Structures are given as C-alpha cells and as structure tokens.
C-alpha cells in the first residue's frame, strides 16, 4: 500500500493493473460515446492474440514496476518502518548525530575545616565498576568556605553507566588540603552507545519546531550528555522559583547531566533568551563578532527510586536476577523531570521474555510508601539501583 495526498493505493501485480487499465479504457469509450463503423460502442476484450491487449498488458507491467519503486522509496524515508541502515542515513539528512554515549556523574558532599577548601580539576576519585576503572574529576574548580559543606560534581572519564551506592566512596584518590570530611551521593549513570531505536525516536522528535522542545532534544542529542531539561519563564514581569533557583522573566534555566563543549552553541541555535547563571556552571557562546553570551546550567539531583514487582509465580534465581537488571536499566531511558509511573515501568518491560509473569507494579521514593507513580521535579533524575533493596520482587508463597 502507498499513501499519497491522503489516499491509499495498493501495489498490484502486472495482470491486475492491466485489467484495471482495460476497464478504464472501456469506461472511457462508453462515457464519451466512441463507436466503430457499425455504430457500436468500442469495447476492448482480453485477447492474447491482439496487439492492443499486449500493449495494455505491457503498460500494466510498467505500472507495477513504478508502484514498487515508489513503495520502496516511501519505505526508505518512513522513519517508523525503514531499516536500521536507512535510519543512520536519515539521521545525517536531519542533522541528528548518533550518540556514542554519555558520562556518569557523582555528587560529593565536602566539608571544609578551619580554612577554605579548594577542589580542583586535578582532584580525582577512581572507581572500578564491572571490572572497568573509571576516573571521576570535577569539570570546574570549587572553593568551599571554612566550616561549610557544599556539593562537588564529578564526571567520569569514560562513557557508560556506572552505579555507585550512596556513602560507598569516602575519600579522594589523594588527600585534599583543608578538607574535613566527604561522602558521596548515589551516582547518576550515563549511557553506552545509542541504540538504533533511540536514534529513530530522536529523529522523529527533531521534527518539532517549538524552541523549548528543540533545545531539550538537541541537548539530549549531544555526545557526553546523559539527559537534559529546560524551563522557560514566559512571564513578562514576575520571577518564578524552579528547583530552588529564581528564574527572572523571559529567562531560561537549564539542567544538564554530563558535559559537552557544545552546550552553549547548541542552546543559541534555538533560543536567544538569557539563562540563569548565578550558582550555575557557565559556558560562553561566542558570536562571530567576538561577543560573549554566558550560558548557565545546573547538574540534576538524583531521586533514588524503589520498584516493587508482583509476580504470578515463583521464578528461578537467574531469572529474578535478569528481571532486576531489566528494571535497573530503565534509569537510562526516562527523560529528566518526567514522572515515573506504573504504566511506564510495565510498558518498558513488555518486550521482556519474563513479562508474562508480572501481574503488578508499584513505585516509591523512600522504600516505604508505594503507589502508582513517583513525581519528579524539573531537575530530578530517577535512579534504580540493581539490588534487592531497591527492586523488590514478590511472588506467591509455595
């Protein structure tokens, strides 16, 4: 079937097209009163010995070939149904780059002693996860006033998801002067190479022309960025508070997990409004005339999510382990600031071979009170740790 200008056309074989053409010619003869020498309406019949029928059949064959070519072209440019290689080709046309992955991030709470404590980009934390060594370091320098405690954001040196439990990393690799103590919050896992399915979705999202959506989609498409979100204050005279930050009128606030040198230039492709820079990580966009426009962005905050799955039957330990891994991997698919819902979890697991054993799902942000959803703010990322504590699986007693 081919759809054109709102109508559907069937791709027929050569014989059917020839019959249709013959009927069309006969109907034309009848409608226009075209007669032969005997005064009869001219009507052609199927006759393998007739040159006219052979010509009609040949035209029918040509029509079939043309239909198939058009169908093939239509399929090639149909984002929903085209092959994986064609998705990569369409991505180039749409100027969407396939992401090679994003960096995991980790927030450390650092307390200064009786003197100011400076955390530089040379201060590292080395973590081994799945037998791979990751080195985390700050993107900017932090100065923590004496007797104060502040958050320090660190980025991994390699792309890919790294899951670090809160409080499991106590120190930097080397002693930091004037640091009284430090601990870590749970990591915000990055991603591996982008799947073709995810790229296909981003190409479709890229079709939107709404500036706010375009900025979010473009930032989410940058290599090194895990997730991004943006809020634009449309008011002309009133400031609003978003995630504890004051956003002036006609100003945007950006939340970005990960890092990229193209954040500022990407933002200014779609928006000319200023961003909140106070307390933010600042990157400059430099215009062709040399003028600098500062772009501020804030790292997201992690919400530890708890998922409770109800099974219709008991499963072997290896299948329970596989099910927990599937649930934990959902952390990388939810956009920043979007609520986690029961429907989202179940829909995302619907292709899993163990899905038939799941009869229910509940969510929680504290591990105590479970319901059908967990609300996330504009700057929140939900993370599900792969453990029995965070992913609770309940099956009927034997």
pLDDT for 217: 84
Confidence of residue 8 (pLDDT cuts 50, 70, 90): low
pLDDT value at residue 123:
94
pLDDT at residue 184, as a whole number: 86
pLDDT at residue 88 above 80? no
Residues 75-80 have a mean pLDDT of: 52
8 A C-beta contact, residue 390 and residue 307: yes
Q: Is the pLDDT of residue 81 over 50?
A: yes
How high does pLDDT run on average in the chain? 83
* Weakest-pLDDT range from 31-35, 157-161, 242-246: 31-35
pLDDT of residue 83: 66
CB 101 within 8 A of CB 193: yes
**383: which residues sit within 8 A by CB, 6+ positions away?**
163, 186, 187, 188, 189, 302, 303, 304, 305, 331
Q: 352 CB contacts (<8 Å, ≥6 apart)?
A: 323, 326
**Mean pLDDT to the nearest integer, 328-352:** 83
Percentage of the residues of the chain whose pLDDT score is greater than 90: 31
What integer pLDDT is reported at residue 323 of this predicted model?
92
Least-confidence region, from 225-239, 246-260, 335-349: 335-349
Dihedral class, residue 337 (left if φ above 0, else alpha if ψ from -120 to 50, else beta): left
pLDDT category at 112 given cuts 50, 70, 90 is very high
Reply yes or no on whether the pLDDT at 78 is more than 70: no
Q: Buried b vs exposed e over 353-381: b needs ≥16 C-beta within 10 Å?
A: eeeebbeebbbbbeeeebeeebebbbbbb
Residue 93 pLDDT level (bands cut at 50, 70, 90): low
pLDDT-based confidence at residue 76 (cuts at 50, 70, 90) = very low
Q: Is 91 helix (H, G, I), strand (E, B) or coil?
A: helix
More confident residue, 62 or 276: 276
The span from the CA of 151 to the CA of 185, in Å, is 10
For residue 376, pLDDT beyond 80: yes
Nearest to 391 by CA among 334, 326, 303: 326
Closest CA to 146 of 175, 179, 113: 113
pLDDT of residue 295: 95
Pairing of strands 252-258, 292-298: parallel
pLDDT digits (tens, 9 = 90+) for 14-32: 777 777 777 878 888 788 8
Report the C-alpha gap between 285 and 295 in whole angstroms.
7
pLDDT top residue among 185 and 297:
297
Q: Which of 13-17, 228-232, 304-308 is predicted with the least confidence, judged by mean pLDDT? A: 13-17
Of 18-22, 105-109, 211-215, 313-317, the range with the lowest mean pLDDT is 18-22
pLDDT tens, position by position, 193-206 = 877 777 777 676 65
Residues 346, 362 contacting (CB under 8 angstroms): no
Strand order in 103-112's β-sheet? Answer: 125-129, 132-138, 149-159, 103-112, 179-184
């Amino acid at each position: 079937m081919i759809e054109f200008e709102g109508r559907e056309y069937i791709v027929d074989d050569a014989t059917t097209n020839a019959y249709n053409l013959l009927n069309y010619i006969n109907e034309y003869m009848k409608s226009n009163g075209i007669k032969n020498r005997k005064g009869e309406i001219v009507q052609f019949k199927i006759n393998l010995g007739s040159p006219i029928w052979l010509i009609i059949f040949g035209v029918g064959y040509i029509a079939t070939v043309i239909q198939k070519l058009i169908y093939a072209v239509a399929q090639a440019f149909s984002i929903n149904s085209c092959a994986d290689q064609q998705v990569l080709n369409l991505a180039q046309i749409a100027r969407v780059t396939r992401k090679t992955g994003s960096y995991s991030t980790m927030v450390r709470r650092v307390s200064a002693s009786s003197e100011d404590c400076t955390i530089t980009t040379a201060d590292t934390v080395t973590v081994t996860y799945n037998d791979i060594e990751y080195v985390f370091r700050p993107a900017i320098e932090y100065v923590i006033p004496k007797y104060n405690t502040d958050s320090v954001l660190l980025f991994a040196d390699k792309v890919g998801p790294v899951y670090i439990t809160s409080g499991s990393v106590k120190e930097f690799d080397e002693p930091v002067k004037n640091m009284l103590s430090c601990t870590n919050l749970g990591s915000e896992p990055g991603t591996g190479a982008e799947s073709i399915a995810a790229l296909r979705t981003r190409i479709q999202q890229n079709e939107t022309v709404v500036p706010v959506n375009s900025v979010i989609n473009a930032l989410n498409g940058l290599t090194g960025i895990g997730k991004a979100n943006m809020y634009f204050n449309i008011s002309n005279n009133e400031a609003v508070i978003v995630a504890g930050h004051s956003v002036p009128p006609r100003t945007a606030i950006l939340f970005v997990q990960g890092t990229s040198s193209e954040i500022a230039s990407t933002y200014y492709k779609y928006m000319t409004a200023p961003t909140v820079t106070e307390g933010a990580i600042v990157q400059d966009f430099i215009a062709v005339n040399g003028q600098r426009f500062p772009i501020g962005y804030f790292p997201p905050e992690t919400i530890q999510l708890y998922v409770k799955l109800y099974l219709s039957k008991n499963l072997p330990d290896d299948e329970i382990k596989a099910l927990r891994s599937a649930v934990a991997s959902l952390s990388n698919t939810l956009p920043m600031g979007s609520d986690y819902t029961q429907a989202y979890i179940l829909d995302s697991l619907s292709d899993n071979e163990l899905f038939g054993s799941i009869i229910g799902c509940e969510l929680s942000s504290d591990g105590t009170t479970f319901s059908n959803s967990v609300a996330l703010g504009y700057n929140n990322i939900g993370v599900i740790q792969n453990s029995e504590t965070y992913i609770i699986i309940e099956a009927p007693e034997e």
